[in-house]
C-alpha cells in the first residue's frame, strides 16, 4: 500500500497502523517549494489524537517485530534499499522541489540512505550480547541486547532523505518500532517517503508510523510523544536549541534521547598544505547544499604564509558559484529553505559587517538564493564568529602558530566536525587530537560521512553516535545469569 497519487500539488496522507490517512478533521497545510515559492504538496495537519494512535500502533506492533527472525528482518531492509534505488530519479526531483536540494547533494543522499539500509540489514546478525565472567563458581553470566520498544524519531529538513532514514533505520534494525515526526519543512522527503518505502518493502503494519503537523503546530504532537509511557526513547536530529529543550523533557521522564545537533566546523590549513587542494576542499565544504549541512565548514583558519594566496583563489572560486533552480541539473547549489532562513543569514552577515568585517565575495541575496559569501576581519563580538549561521557564508582567518589555530578552532560551543590540511599527516593527526570535535578529517572536508562511521559530535553538537554504535543507543543491555550449581547462601 502506498500514498495514493493525486493531482498537482499532490495531497499526501500520513502512515498510521499501516493505513494511509489524513488528519482526523481533514485539515492540511501547504508545503511550499523553496525556489519557486509555489505550493509543492498538501500535507495532513495532525495533532494529539493522531499521534496517540501512531504510538498505540507502534506499541502493538512491537512484540512481533522484536521477535521476527534475523533472516526475515534482513530481507525487508534489503528490499527497502532496492525500492529506494529504483525510485532515485523521482526522489531527487522531489528533494529539489520540497527542500531546494540540488542534484549533487540529493544523489549523495540517495546513495547514502541506500547504503544505510543495506548495512542495517546485517544488524540482526551482529552479536546480540556478550558472555561476562562471574566470580561465583558455576555461574554463567550473559549481557544481552534487547530492543527498547517504541522510539519517537524527530527529523530535520536539511539532509531530508538521509536523515529521515537515519532517524528510523537503526531503531528498526535493533527490533524497535518507530513513530517518525518529520520536519514541517520537509514532511515528504524527511518522513512520508520513509513510510512509502518501508511499507512497500513489506514491513508489518505499525512497525513504522509517520505523523505530520503544520508549521507552528508541533506542540500537541510533541506533548504526546514526550508524555507517553509507551515511548521509550527519542532519536533527534536538529538544532542545538531544540535538542536542549527536548533533552530536558526526556530527562524529566528519565528517558534517553539521541542528540545530533548543530555544528560550527573549522578547517585548518597548515603552512605545508597543498594550496589548490585546500582551496578545492574549502569551496566544497563551505558551500555544498548552500551551507545548510550541519558539517559545512564555517571558518577556514589559514597559516599566515599561505593566507593571501589562499584567499585570492578561494574568493575567485566562491564568486564563480551561482545558486539557481535546484531542479535544473546544471545548478550545483540552490535556494535556502525559506524566507526566515534568508533573513537570518543576511542578518548574520550585516551584523558582522557592522562590527568591522569585510565581504570579499557574495553578500547578497535574490529571492531565496544567497550568494556564496566570504568574510574576513570578523571580530569575536560578531555572533557569526562562533555561532552556526545556516547558509553559504564562511569566515577566513590567518593564524601564526598551531596553538593559535587550535584555540581559534575550539572557540565555539559546538564540536561536530573539523578538518586539518597538511603534507605531514601525523602532524595533522596530532593537531586534530587537540580539537574539541566528534569528527576530525585529515586532508578531507569537514563534510562527509558514510553510514557505517561513528558519526556524531561533542559539546553543543550532541552525543549520539551512528554506524553500529547506534545499537548501544537503541537497545537495553540485560544481564541474565544461570547458576549451574546450587548456591550457598549466608542466610
303 vs 394, beta carbon nearer ligand NAD: 394
Which pairing describes strands 297-303 and 365-366: parallel, antiparallel, or unpaired? unpaired
Residues marked as catalytic: 260, 294
Distance CA(173)–CA(364), nearest Å, equals: 45
- Residue 175 and residue 387: Cα distance in Å, rounded? 38
Per-residue DSSP letters for 276-295? HHHHHHHHHHHHGGGG-STT
Q: Which stretch binds ligand NAD (CB under 6 A): 24-32, 200-208, 238-246, 355-363?
A: 238-246
Residue 206 makes contact with ligand NAD by CB under 6 A: no
Output 261 or 409, the one with its CB closest to ligand NAD: 261
DSSP one-letter code for 423: S
Distance CA 323, CA 371 (A): 7
- Smallest distance, Å, CB 373 to ligand NAD? 18
154 binds ligand NAD (CB under 6 A): yes
The upper half-sphere exposure of residue 241, i.e. CA atoms within 13 Å in the direction of its Cβ, equals 2
State the nearest-atom distance from the C-beta of 333 to ligand NAD, in Å. 17
Q: Which stretch binds ligand NAD (CB under 6 A): 158-166, 171-179, 355-363, 379-387?
A: 158-166
Angstrom distance (rounded) from CA 42 to CA 28: 6
416 binds ligand NAD (CB under 6 A): yes
For ligand NAD, give the closer residue by CB, 372 or 457. Answer: 457
Q: Least Å distance between CB 435 and ligand NAD?
A: 16
Interaction with ligand NAD in 245-274: which residues (CB under 6 A)?
Answer: 245-246, 260-263
**28 contributes a contact to ligand NAD by CB under 6 A:** no
Residue 57 neighbours by CB under 8 Å, 6+ apart: 16, 17, 18, 205, 206, 209
Q: Which is nearer to ligand NAD, 222 or 352 (CB)?
A: 222
In the complex, what is the shortest distance from the CB of residue 461 to ligand NAD, in angstroms, rounded to a whole number?
6
Site membership for ligand NAD, residue 390 (CB under 6 A):
yes
Kind and range of the H or E run holding 15:
strand 14-16
183 near ligand NAD (CB under 6 A): yes
Closest by CA to 19, choosing from 206, 230, 231, is 206
165 and 117 Cβ atoms separated by less than 8 Å: yes
Measured CA to CA, the distance from residue 253 to residue 250 in angstroms comes to 5
Q: How far apart are the first and last CA of the chain?
A: 62
Q: Is 163 in the site for ligand NAD (CB under 6 A)?
A: yes
Q: How far is the CB of 319 from ligand NAD (least distance, A)?
A: 26
Does residue 238 touch ligand NAD according to CB under 6 A?
yes
The number of CA neighbours under 13 Å toward the Cβ of 253 is: 19
Size of the residue set binding ligand NAD (CB under 6 A): 28
Comparison of 263 and 398: residue with beta carbon closer to ligand NAD: 263
**Per-residue contact flags (x/-) with ligand NAD for residues 68 to 107, judged by CB under 6 A:** ----------------------------------------
Which CB, 313 or 436, lies closer to ligand NAD? 436
Angstrom distance (rounded) from CA 432 to CA 417: 10
Site for ligand NAD, rule CB under 6 A: 154-159, 163, 183-184, 218, 222, 237-239, 242, 245-246, 260-263, 294, 388, 390, 416, 457, 461-462
Amino acid at each position: 500500500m502506498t500514498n495514493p497519487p493525486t493531482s498537482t500539488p499532490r495531497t499526501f496522507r500520513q502512515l498510521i497502523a499501516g493505513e494511509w490517512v489524513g488528519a482526523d478533521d481533514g485539515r492540511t497545510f501547504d508545503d511550499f517549494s523553496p525556489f519557486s515559492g509555489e505550493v509543492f504538496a498538501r500535507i495532513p495537519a495532525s495533532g494529539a489524537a493522531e499521534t496517540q494512535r501512531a504510538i498505540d500502533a507502534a506499541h502493538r506492533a512491537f512484540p512481533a517485530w522484536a521477535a521476527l527472525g534475523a533472516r526475515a528482518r534482513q530481507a525487508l531492509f534489503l528490499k527497502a534499499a532496492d525500492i529506494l534505488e529504483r525510485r532515485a530519479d523521482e526522489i531527487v526531483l522531489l528533494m529539489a522541489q520540497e527542500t531546494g536540494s540540488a542534484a549533487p547533494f540529493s544523489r549523495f543522499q540517495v546513495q547514502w540512505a541506500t547504503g544505510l539500509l543495506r548495512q542495517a540489514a546485517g544488524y540482526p546478525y551482529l552479536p546480540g550480547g556478550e558472555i561476562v565472567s562471574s566470580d561465583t563458581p558455576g555461574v554463567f553470566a550473559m549481557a544481552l541486547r534487547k530492543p527498547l520498544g517504541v522510539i519517537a524519531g524527530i527529523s530535520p529538513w536539511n539532509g531530508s532523505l538521509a536523515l529521515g532514514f537515519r532517524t528510523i533505520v537503526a531503531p528498526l534494525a535493533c527490533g524497535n518500532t518507530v513513530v517518525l515526526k518529520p520536519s514541517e519543512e520537509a514532511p515528504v522527503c524527511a518522513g512520508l517517503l520513509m513510510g512509502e518505502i518501508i511499507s512497500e518493502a513489506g514491513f508489518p503494519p505499525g512497525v513504522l508510523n509517520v505523523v505530520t503537523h503544520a508549521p507552528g503546530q508541533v506542540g500537541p504532537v510533541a506533548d504526546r510523544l514526550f508524555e507517553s509511557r509507551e515511548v521509550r526513547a527519542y532519536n533527534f536530529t536538529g538544532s542545538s536549541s531544540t535538542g536542549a529543550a527536548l533533552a530536558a523533557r526526556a530527562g524529566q521522564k528519565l528517558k534517553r534521547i539521541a542528540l545530533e545537533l548543530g555544528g560550527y566546523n573549522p578547517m585548518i590549513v597548515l603552512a605545508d598544505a597543498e594550496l589548490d587542494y585546500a582551496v578545492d576542499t574549502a569551496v566544497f565544504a563551505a558551500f555544498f547544499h548552500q551551507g545548510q549541512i550541519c558539517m559545512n565548514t564555517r571558518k577556514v583558519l589559514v597559516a599566515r604564509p599561505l593566507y593571501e594566496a589562499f584567499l585570492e583563489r578561494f574568493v575567485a572560486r566562491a564568486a564563480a558559484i551561482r545558486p539557481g533552480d535546484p531542479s535544473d541539473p546544471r545548478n550545483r547549489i540552490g535556494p535556502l529553505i525559506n524566507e526566515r532562513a534568508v533573513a537570518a543569514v543576511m542578518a548574520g552577515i550585516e551584523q558582522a559587517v557592522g562590527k568591522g568585517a569585510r565581504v570579499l565575495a557574495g553578500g547578497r541575496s535574490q529571492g531565496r538564493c544567497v550568494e556564496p559569501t566570504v568574510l574576513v576581519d570578523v571580530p569575536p563580538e560578531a555572533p557569526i564568529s562562533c555561532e552556526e549561521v545556516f547558509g553559504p557564508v564562511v569566515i577566513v582567518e590567518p593564524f601564526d602558530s598551531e596553538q593559535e589555530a587550535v584555540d581559534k578552532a575550539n572557540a565555539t560551543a559546538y564540536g561536530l566536525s573539523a578538518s586539518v590540511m597538511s603534507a605531514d599527516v601525523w602532524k595533522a593527526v596530532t593537531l586534530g587530537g587537540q580539537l574539541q570535535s566528534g569528527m576530525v578529517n585529515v586532508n578531507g572536508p569537514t563534510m562527509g560521512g558514510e553510514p557505517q562511521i561513528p558519526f556524531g559530535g561533542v559539546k553543543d553538537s550532541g552525543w549520539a553516535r551512528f554506524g553500529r554504535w547506534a545499537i548501544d543507543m537503541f537497545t537495553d543491555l540485560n544481564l541474565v545469569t544461570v547458576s549451574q550449581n546450587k548456591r550457598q547462601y549466608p542466610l
